[in-house]
Amino acid sequence: MITLYVLGQFRYIAFDSTGKRIKGVHESASERSAAQDLQKQGLTPVELSERAKRANAFGKRLPIRRLAMTYQQLSDLQRAGVPLLRALRIVGNQKANLKVASVFSDLADEVAEGDELSQAMAKRDEIFPAAQVALIRAGEKAGILESVLSRLSSMLLAQAELRSKVIGSLIYPAVLMTFGVLILVVVFTAFVPRFRPLFARLEGDLPALTTLTFAISDLLGKYIGVTLLVAMAAVVGYYALRRRPDIRETIAVYQLRIPVFGKLSKTLAAARFCRLLGTLLDNGVPMISAMQIAKQASGHVVMARAIDAAVESVRGGGSIAEPLGVSGLFESDVVEMISVAEAANNLGEVLVTIADTIDRRVDRLLTTAVRLVEPLLLVVIAVAVVLVAAALLLPMADLSSSL
Tell me how far CA of residue 19 lies from CA of 39, 42, 44, 93, in angstroms.
14, 11, 9, 36
pLDDT score recorded for residue 1: 33
Total residue count of the chain as it appears in this document: 403
Q: Is residue 303 within 8 Å of 293, Cβ to Cβ? A: no
pLDDT score recorded for residue 249: 77
pLDDT score recorded for residue 347: 87
What pLDDT, in 10s, does the model give residues 218-258? 898 888 889 899 999 999 998 888 778 778 778 878 888 88
Architecture of domain 57-128: Up-down Bundle (1.20)
pLDDT score recorded for residue 374: 81
- Return the percent helix, strand and coil in the chain, to nearest 5: 75, 5, 20
pLDDT score recorded for residue 2: 33
Q: Is residue 85 within 8 Å of 111, Cβ to Cβ? A: yes
Tell me how far CA of residue 384 lies from CA of 305, 355, 391, in angstroms.
41, 41, 11
Q: Give the pTM.
A: 0.65
Residues 6+ apart with CB under 8 A from 201: 399
Region class of 43: left (phi > 0), else alpha (psi between -120 and 50), else beta: beta
User: What residues does each domain of the chain span?
Assistant: 8-51, 57-128, 153-403
Q: Is residue 326 within 8 Å of 310, Cβ to Cβ? A: no
What is the biggest distance separating any 2 CA atoms in the chain, rounded to whole angstroms?
Answer: 103
Neighbours of 131 (CB within 10 A): 21
Q: Looking at beta carbons, which pairs linking 173-177 to residues 24 or more positions away fall under 8 Å?
A: 173/370, 173/373, 173/374, 173/377, 176/374, 176/377, 176/378, 177/377
CA-based torsion, 110, 26, 127, 302: positive or negative:
positive
pLDDT score recorded for residue 5: 36
Task: Assign 158 to helix, strand or coil.
Answer: helix
Tell me how far CA of residue 325 lies from CA of 24, 307, 321, in angstroms.
46, 11, 6
Residues 6+ apart with CB under 8 A from 329: 256, 266, 269, 270, 300, 302, 303, 306
pLDDT score recorded for residue 403: 53
pLDDT score recorded for residue 6: 39
Closest CA to 328 of 271, 245, 274, 253: 253
Residues 6+ apart with CB under 8 A from 93: 101, 105
pLDDT score recorded for residue 307: 86
pLDDT by 10s per residue, the chain, length 403: 333 333 456 777 777 767 777 777 776 656 777 777 777 777 877 777 765 544 333 445 788 888 899 999 999 999 999 999 999 999 888 877 788 888 998 899 888 888 889 888 888 878 888 778 888 888 888 788 888 898 889 888 888 887 888 788 888 888 888 988 898 888 888 888 888 887 776 655 778 888 888 899 989 888 888 989 999 999 999 888 877 877 877 887 888 888 777 888 888 888 888 888 888 888 888 888 888 888 766 667 888 888 888 888 888 888 888 888 888 888 888 889 888 888 888 888 888 888 888 888 887 878 887 788 888 888 988 898 899 888 888 877 766 665 5
pLDDT score recorded for residue 76: 92
